[in-house]
Protein backbone atom coordinates (compact mmCIF):
# COMPACT_ATOMS: atom_id res chain seq x y z
CA UNK A 1 0.00 0.00 0.00
CA UNK A 2 1.30 3.45 -0.90
CA UNK A 3 1.65 5.69 2.17
CA UNK A 4 -0.28 8.94 2.32
CA UNK A 5 0.29 12.05 4.41
CA UNK A 6 -2.66 11.00 6.54
CA UNK A 7 -1.42 7.58 7.68
CA UNK A 8 0.12 9.24 10.73
CA UNK A 9 -3.12 10.57 12.23
CA UNK A 10 -5.19 9.48 15.22
CA UNK A 11 -8.78 10.41 16.07
CA UNK A 12 -8.95 12.38 19.32
CA UNK A 13 -12.73 12.83 19.32
CA UNK A 14 -15.16 11.92 16.53
CA UNK A 15 -14.18 13.95 13.48
CA UNK A 16 -11.13 15.58 15.14
CA UNK A 17 -7.77 14.10 14.17
CA UNK A 18 -4.18 14.92 15.13
CA UNK A 19 -1.11 13.83 13.20
CA UNK A 20 2.31 14.48 11.78
CA UNK A 21 3.96 14.54 8.38
CA UNK A 22 5.74 11.24 7.63
CA UNK A 23 9.16 11.73 6.02
CA UNK A 24 8.19 9.92 2.82
CA UNK A 25 5.36 12.42 2.22
CA UNK A 26 7.25 15.68 2.72
CA UNK A 27 7.70 17.98 -0.25
CA UNK A 28 11.50 18.07 0.08
CA UNK A 29 11.85 14.27 -0.16
CA UNK A 30 12.55 13.39 -3.80
CA UNK A 31 12.18 9.68 -3.03
CA UNK A 32 8.68 10.01 -1.62
CA UNK A 33 6.20 7.50 -2.94
CA UNK A 34 3.27 9.91 -3.08
CA UNK A 35 3.82 12.56 -5.78
CA UNK A 36 2.30 15.98 -6.50
CA UNK A 37 -0.90 14.83 -8.18
CA UNK A 38 -3.39 15.42 -5.41
CA UNK A 39 -4.81 12.78 -3.16
CA UNK A 40 -7.66 11.74 -5.45
CA UNK A 41 -7.80 8.17 -4.16
CA UNK A 42 -6.81 8.73 -0.55
CA UNK A 43 -8.59 6.12 1.57
CA UNK A 44 -8.89 8.54 4.49
CA UNK A 45 -9.90 11.98 3.25
CA UNK A 46 -10.48 14.99 5.45
CA UNK A 47 -12.73 17.96 4.81
CA UNK A 48 -10.35 20.46 6.41
CA UNK A 49 -6.70 20.41 7.49
CA UNK A 50 -4.67 22.75 9.67
CA UNK A 51 -1.02 22.39 8.65
CA UNK A 52 1.66 23.77 10.97
CA UNK A 53 4.79 22.47 9.23
CA UNK A 54 5.98 24.19 6.03
CA UNK A 55 7.36 21.03 4.40
CA UNK A 56 4.15 19.04 4.81
CA UNK A 57 2.60 17.83 1.58
CA UNK A 58 -0.33 20.04 0.59
CA UNK A 59 -3.89 18.85 0.96
CA UNK A 60 -5.54 17.26 -2.04
CA UNK A 61 -8.38 18.41 -4.23
CA UNK A 62 -11.54 19.38 -2.41
CA UNK A 63 -9.85 19.68 0.98
CA UNK A 64 -9.83 23.08 2.65
CA UNK A 65 -6.43 23.74 4.18
CA UNK A 66 -5.14 26.48 6.46
CA UNK A 67 -1.34 26.59 6.74
CA UNK A 68 0.66 28.52 9.31
CA UNK A 69 4.08 27.43 10.45
CA UNK A 70 5.44 28.40 13.83
CA UNK A 71 8.36 27.00 15.84
CA UNK A 72 8.09 24.35 18.51
CA UNK A 73 10.24 26.32 20.94
CA UNK A 74 11.02 24.13 23.95
CA UNK A 75 12.96 26.96 25.59
CA UNK A 76 10.44 29.78 25.37
CA UNK A 77 7.13 28.40 24.13
CA UNK A 78 4.76 30.53 22.05
CA UNK A 79 6.21 33.80 20.86
CA UNK A 80 3.98 36.81 21.38
CA UNK A 81 4.12 37.60 17.65
CA UNK A 82 2.34 34.27 16.94
CA UNK A 83 -0.19 34.35 19.79
CA UNK A 84 -3.22 35.74 17.94
CA UNK A 85 -2.63 33.68 14.80
CA UNK A 86 -2.43 30.51 16.88
CA UNK A 87 -5.70 31.36 18.60
CA UNK A 88 -7.26 32.15 15.21
CA UNK A 89 -6.19 28.71 13.93
CA UNK A 90 -7.93 27.08 16.87
CA UNK A 91 -11.10 29.10 16.29
CA UNK A 92 -11.10 28.21 12.57
CA UNK A 93 -10.52 24.54 13.37
CA UNK A 94 -13.21 24.49 16.03
CA UNK A 95 -15.73 26.07 13.66
CA UNK A 96 -14.92 23.56 10.91
CA UNK A 97 -15.13 20.62 13.30
CA UNK A 98 -18.40 21.82 14.84
CA UNK A 99 -19.92 22.32 11.40
CA UNK A 100 -19.41 18.61 10.73
CA UNK A 101 -16.11 18.73 8.86
CA UNK A 102 -13.65 15.92 9.41
CA UNK A 103 -10.65 17.96 10.64
CA UNK A 104 -6.97 17.01 10.74
CA UNK A 105 -4.47 19.11 12.71
CA UNK A 106 -0.91 18.21 11.70
CA UNK A 107 2.66 19.37 12.17
CA UNK A 108 6.01 17.64 11.62
CA UNK A 109 6.07 14.91 14.28
CA UNK A 110 2.46 15.21 15.37
CA UNK A 111 3.38 16.03 18.94
CA UNK A 112 3.60 19.66 20.04
CA UNK A 113 2.34 22.16 17.47
CA UNK A 114 -0.56 19.95 16.41
CA UNK A 115 -1.05 19.11 20.08
CA UNK A 116 -1.32 22.78 21.00
CA UNK A 117 -3.94 23.56 18.35
CA UNK A 118 -5.87 20.39 19.19
CA UNK A 119 -5.71 21.32 22.89
CA UNK A 120 -7.04 24.81 22.15
CA UNK A 121 -9.86 23.33 20.05
CA UNK A 122 -10.80 20.96 22.88
CA UNK A 123 -10.74 23.84 25.38
CA UNK A 124 -13.03 25.85 23.09
CA UNK A 125 -15.31 22.81 23.20
CA UNK A 126 -15.45 23.21 26.99
CA UNK A 127 -12.94 20.57 28.05
CA UNK A 128 -10.61 21.63 30.88
CA UNK A 129 -6.91 21.90 30.08
CA UNK A 130 -5.67 18.91 32.08
CA UNK A 131 -8.51 16.69 30.88
CA UNK A 132 -7.83 17.71 27.26
CA UNK A 133 -4.10 17.01 27.63
CA UNK A 134 -4.87 13.56 29.06
CA UNK A 135 -7.30 12.87 26.22
CA UNK A 136 -4.76 13.85 23.56
CA UNK A 137 -2.04 11.75 25.16
CA UNK A 138 -4.34 8.74 25.41
CA UNK A 139 -5.53 8.96 21.79
CA UNK A 140 -2.39 10.11 19.95
CA UNK A 141 -0.64 6.76 19.85
CA UNK A 142 2.69 7.91 18.46
CA UNK A 143 5.60 9.89 19.86
CA UNK A 144 5.30 12.09 22.93
CA UNK A 145 2.25 14.31 22.45
CA UNK A 146 2.40 17.71 24.13
CA UNK A 147 5.79 17.29 25.77
CA UNK A 148 6.39 21.06 25.44
CA UNK A 149 5.25 22.37 28.86
CA UNK A 150 5.21 25.95 27.56
CA UNK A 151 2.48 25.03 25.07
CA UNK A 152 0.33 23.55 27.82
CA UNK A 153 0.85 26.63 29.98
CA UNK A 154 -0.04 28.88 27.02
CA UNK A 155 -3.29 26.97 26.51
CA UNK A 156 -4.09 27.08 30.22
CA UNK A 157 -3.56 30.86 30.26
CA UNK A 158 -5.73 31.38 27.17
CA UNK A 159 -8.61 29.15 28.33
CA UNK A 160 -11.85 31.08 27.79
CA UNK A 161 -10.16 34.04 26.07
CA UNK A 162 -10.81 33.07 22.45
Domains and CATH numbers, the chain: 10-158 (3.90.190.10)
* Lowest-confidence segment of 53-57, 68-72, 102-106, 150-154 by average pLDDT: 53-57
The pLDDT, as a whole number, for residue 128 is 98
Q: How confident is the model at residue 23 (pLDDT cuts 50, 70, 90)?
A: low
Q: How far is CA 18 from the centre of its chain?
A: 5
Mean pLDDT along residues 35-45: 50
CA 138, CA 158: separation in Å to the nearest integer?
23
CA 92, CA 96: separation in Å to the nearest integer?
6
Mean pLDDT along residues 13-28: 77
In the chain, the percentage of residues whose pLDDT exceeds 90 is 67
The pLDDT, as a whole number, for residue 45 is 74
**Cβ pair 141, 11 in contact under 8 A:** no
CA 92, CA 131: separation in Å to the nearest integer?
22
CA 96, CA 56: separation in Å to the nearest integer?
21
Greater pLDDT, 113 or 27 = 113
pLDDT digits (tens, 9 = 90+) for 126-147: 999 999 999 999 999 888 999 9
- Is the pLDDT at 66 greater than 50? The verdict is yes
The pLDDT, as a whole number, for residue 121 is 99
Amino acid sequence: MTPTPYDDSHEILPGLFMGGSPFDTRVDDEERQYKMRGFDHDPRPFDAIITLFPKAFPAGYGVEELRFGFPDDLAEGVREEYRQRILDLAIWGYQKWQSGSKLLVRCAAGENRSGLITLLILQKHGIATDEAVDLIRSKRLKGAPLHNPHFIEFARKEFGNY
